[in-house]
C-alpha cells in the first residue's frame, strides 16, 4: 500500500507483523513516495501510482520512489528520535531485538535492513553494480568465510570495506592456510582498529588504509598508533604503553601492507607510486624503532620484571591435602573390594596428586 504516513507520537520504533482474527497476516504497512526528476520531467508519486500493472518499468519506478521516500523518512526519524522506522522486511511477532539502531540502509537501494543481515541483501541487491571481470587480489573463499564469521561491530565493518586489509588477509592465507584462520582474522582486526583511529585523526570516515602508506602520512600513522595502543605521558623519563604487543604487531602488518602495495606498483609499472612506498618503508626502518618499538619493548620488559607471582595460601594447601588423602583412601578401598583397571587408574591419579605414595 502506497500512501502518506502519519508518524506516531513517541520514540522511534519498528513495527512488527500483525494478524487478524482468522490468523491471517494484515498488510497494513505504509510507504512514502518521493517526487523525483526522471527523464527531464517531474514524475510524481501520484503518476507512479496511476500507471497500469502492465506498464513496462512500473516495478522499477515504483520501488525507486518508495525506497527513496522511505529512506528520507527514516533518516528524519533517526535524527528526531520519533516516528516509525520503515524497513524492507517487517519483524515477526517473536522478534526480541526491535531497536532502531540495529538497522542500516543499503548503499545501493537505500532500503533499511538489520545490520547483521545487510551483507546478504547487498550480495543480491538489484541495484548492486555487477563486479568487474578482472579478479580482485583478495578474492578468496576462505577469506570470505573469515569476514562472514568475524564478530559484528564497527571494526568488522571497517575491515570488510578496506581493500588493502583484505588483500593482506588473502596474502597471509596463502602461507598459513585454513589452519590459522583465527590468526588471520586477528591481524585484520588489528589493522581495522588502526584505521578506525586514522579516521578519527583525519576526521574522515571514507579514507582507506592505502591512503596512508605514503611518506607525507607517516607522522599521521605514528600519531594513530600511539592513540590506538595507549601511549601514556612519560613518568621519570620512561614512557609506558598500555598495549605494547599491539604496537609491535602493527609494525609488521604495516610493513607487509607496504610490500603488497609496492608489488602492485611494480606490476602496474607505476614508478611514482613505487618510489613513494620505498620512501615510506625507509621512514619506518629509521624512525619506528625510536618512536614506537623502543617504548613498547621497555614496557614489556618492565612488566615482566615486576610481575607478581601469587603463592597459594596455607589454608588452600591444607584443603587440597585433605581432599587428596580422602580421595586416595576411597579409591584404595574400592580397588580392594573389586579390582579392575579403571579403579586402579583413579587410585594412581589420586596418589600422584599426593606425591606418589599409595598407602
DSSP code, position 140: -
Radius of gyration of the chain (CA): 31
Which stretches of the chain score pLDDT less than 70?
1-11, 17-18, 25-29, 31-61, 93-98, 131-138, 353-359
CB distance 74 to 112 below 8 Å: yes
Polymer length in residues for the chain:
359
Grid cell 623502543 in the structure block, residue: 294
Set of cell numbers at residue 215 = 611518506
Q: What is the pLDDT, as a whole number, of residue 44?
A: 44
Residue 6 pLDDT: 39
Closest CA to 218 of 164, 187, 254, 252: 254
**Helical packing angle, 271-288 and 244-267, nearest 10°:** 160
E-assigned strands of the chain? 18-19, 25-26, 36-38, 41-43, 103-105, 112-114
Angle subtended by helix axes 181-202 and 163-176, to nearest 10:
160
* Residue 136 confidence (pLDDT): 63
Q: Are the beta carbons of 327 and 359 closer than 8 angstroms?
A: no
Distance CA 260, CA 265 (A): 9
Query: What is the model's pLDDT at position 50?
Result: 40
124: its cell numbers: 543480491
Q: Where do the structural domains in the chain lie, given as residue ranges?
A: 61-129, 141-306, 314-350
Contact 4, 75 (CB under 8 A): no
State the cell numbers at 86. Answer: 520503515
* Of 165, 124, 127, nearest in space to 143 by CA: 165
Q: What is the DSSP string of 201-259?
A: HHT-TT--GGGG-SGGGHHHHHHHHHHHHTBPPPBTTB--BSSHHHHHHHHHHHHHHHH
Amino acid at each position: 500500500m502506497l500512501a502518506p504516513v502519519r508518524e506516531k507520537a513517541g520514540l522511534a520504533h519498528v513495527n512488527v507483523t500483525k494478524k487478524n482474527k482468522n490468523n491471517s497476516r494484515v498488510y497494513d504497512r505504509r510507504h512514502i513516495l518521493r517526487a523525483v526528476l526522471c527523464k527531464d520531467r517531474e514524475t510524481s508519486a501520484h503518476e507512479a501510482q496511476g500507471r497500469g500493472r502492465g506498464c513496462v518499468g512500473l516495478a522499477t519506478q515504483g520501488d525507486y520512489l518508495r525506497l527513496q521516500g522511505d529512506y528520507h523518512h527514516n533518516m528524519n526519524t533517526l535524527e528526531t528520535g520519533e516516528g516509525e522506522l520503515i524497513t524492507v522486511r517487517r519483524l515477526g511477532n517473536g522478534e526480541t531485538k526491535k531497536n532502531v539502531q540495529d538497522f542500516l540502509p543499503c548503499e545501493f537501494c537505500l532500503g533499511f535492513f538489520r545490520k547483521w543481515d545487510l551483507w546478504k541483501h547487498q550480495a543480491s541487491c538489484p541495484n548492486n553494480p555487477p563486479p568487474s571481470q578482472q579478479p580482485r587480489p583478495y578474492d578468496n573463499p576462505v577469506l570470505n568465510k573469515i569476514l562472514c564469521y568475524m564478530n559484528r561491530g564497527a571494526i568488522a565493518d571497517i575491515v570488510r570495506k578496506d581493500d588493502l586489509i583484505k588483500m593482506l588477509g588473502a596474502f597471509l592465507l596463502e602461507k598459513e592456510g585454513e589452519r590459522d584462520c583465527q590468526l588471520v582474522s586477528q591481524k585484520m582486526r588489528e589493522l581495522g582498529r588502526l584505521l578506525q583511529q586514522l579516521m578519527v585523526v583525519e576526521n574522515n570516515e571514507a579514507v582507506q588504509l592505502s591512503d596512508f602508506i605514503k611518506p607525507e602520512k607517516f607522522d599521521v600513522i605514528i600519531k594513530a598508533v600511539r592513540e590506538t595502543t595507549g601511549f601514556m605521558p612519560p613518568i621519570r623519563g620512561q614512557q609506558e604503553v598500555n598495549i605494547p604487543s599491539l604496537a609491535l604487531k602493527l609494525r609488521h602488518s604495516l610493513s607487509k601492507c607496504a610490500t603488497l602495495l609496492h608489488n602492485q606498483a611494480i606490476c602496474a609499472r607505476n614508478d611514482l607510486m613505487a618510489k613513494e612506498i620505498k620512501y615510506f618503508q625507509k621512514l619506518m626502518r629509521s624512525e619506528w624503532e625510536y618512536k614506537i618499538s623502543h617504548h613498547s619493548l621497555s614496557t614489556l620488559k618492565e612488566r615482566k620484571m615486576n610481575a607478581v607471582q601469587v603463592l597459594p595460601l596455607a589454608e588452600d594447601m591444607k584443603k587440597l591435602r585433605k581432599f587428596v588423602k580422602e580421595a586416595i583412601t576411597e579409591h584404595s578401598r574400592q580397588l580392594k573390594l573389586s579390582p579392575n583397571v579403571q579403579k586402579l587408574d583413579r587410585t594412581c591419579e589420586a596418589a600422584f596428586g599426593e606425591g606418589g605414595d599409595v598407602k
